[in-house]
Structure 1
Amino acid sequence: MTVHGPVMPIWSCGGCGLPWPCTTRKRELRAEYADAPVSLALYLGSYLVQATEDMQWTPAGVLHRRFLGWTRDAAQSNPAVPQPVQPARAEP
Structure 2
Amino acid sequence: MTTHGPVLPVWTCAGCGAPWPCRTRRQELQAEYDEAPVSLALYMGSCMVAACQDMGWAPAGSLHRRFLGWLA
Q: Which band: TM-score by shorter chain?
A: over 0.9
Q: Percent identity at matched positions?
A: 68
- Cα separation, 1, equivalents of 2:2 and 2:43: 16
- Cα separation, 1, equivalents of 2:36 and 2:59: 28
SS of residue matched to 1:28: helix
- Cα separation, 1, equivalents of 2:34 and 2:64: 21
Aligned partner of 1:43 in structure 2 is: 43
Alignment of 1:52-91 (within 5 A): 52-72=52-72
Larger Rg: 1
- Cα separation, 2, equivalents of 1:20 and 1:8: 10
User: Any gaps of 5 or more consecutive residues in structure 2?
Assistant: none
User: Any gaps of 5 or more consecutive residues in structure 1?
Assistant: 73-92
RMSD after superposition: 0.5
Runs of 4+ displaced beyond 2 Å: none
1:25 Cα shift? 0.1
